[in-house]
Amino acid sequence: MQEQWVEQTVYQRPESLSKNPTHYCPGCTHGLIHKLIGEVIDELAIRERTIAVAPVGCSVLLYNYFELDSAEAAHGRAPAMATGLKRVQPDKIVFTYQGDGDLASIGIAEIMWAAIRGENITTFFINNAIYGMTGGQMAPTSLPGQVTGSSPLGRDVEMTGMPIQMAEILAGLPGTTYAVRRSVHDIRTIKDAKKAIRTAFRVQMAGAGFSFIEFLSSCPTNWGLTPSRALDWIRQNMVPYYPLGDYKVADIVKELR
């Protein structure tokens, strides 16, 4: 007897992602995080009212990878631009996607104030402890002793201060409704990350205030590691300094779950 094969779709590209191949380096987790965001946007059926704001940094071309109305902001100013977009059309879903240099260094004022105002936007913060696009310089999140293009002898925290922990800082602001840190270095953390993305968007859809997810992300090229070693590096070196977890989950978020 012949077996009956039934075709069943078990996976496909999210509608919210474009078919353009990304320019990201092999093993970089930007693409993975894009995919998770795209899947959640599809699942929540908000693609047609979502606007993405891209940063300056490796994800500067983000608008090529999403099938979303998109803006490309000046370096660090994505939260301000998103504020303008959202305030004049509160029915839209507006998110920024920013790297560590963009958000935690040059754009620290804009992200703090978006959170302080409780701006009803969502920010995805990609922390890979390095300036990727300019070729591997020290980031505000580079770890103590980390060797980079601009800290060739290792990050000297006596001179530069300690790495900045954005999820904790933003969680301390009353305007923040949801602030968590996630990673994408293995299956379990990827699944947790996707859940958080869903929660963050739902916070915004409910008009409940500022939602923020920090992702620990890999940069094999500038860390000088293979893709799989880079994922190990996240777990071994980044997670201890940047513990995964929920730093602010306002009561209203619990009602959304």
Chain residues binding another protein by CB under 8 A are: 47-51, 53-54, 60-61, 63, 66-74, 77, 80-89, 92, 109-110, 112-113
Distances in whole angstroms, Cα of residue 196 to Cα of each of 66, 85, 105, 199: 19, 23, 24, 5
* Minimum CB–partner distance for residue 90 and another protein (Å): 9
Closer CB to another protein, 80 or 244, in the complex: 80
Closer CB to another protein, 94 or 166, in the complex: 94
Q: State the Cα–Cα distance between residues 124 and 37, nearest whole angstrom.
A: 9
Closer CB to another protein, 89 or 228, in the complex: 89
* Minimum CB–partner distance for residue 166 and another protein (Å): 17
Crossing angle of the two packed helices 187-205 and 30-44, in degrees rounded to 10: 50
Burial class (CB in 10 A: 0-12, 13-18, 19+), 18: middle
* Minimum CB–partner distance for residue 131 and another protein (Å): 17
Closer CB to another protein, 42 or 232, in the complex: 42
* Minimum CB–partner distance for residue 48 and another protein (Å): 4
| Residue 159 tokens, joined | 């001179």
Closer CB to another protein, 88 or 159, in the complex: 88
Look up residue 42 and give its amino acid: D
* Minimum CB–partner distance for residue 49 and another protein (Å): 4
Distances in whole angstroms, Cα of residue 60 to Cα of each of 73, 124, 141: 9, 14, 19
Burial class (CB in 10 A: 0-12, 13-18, 19+), 154: middle
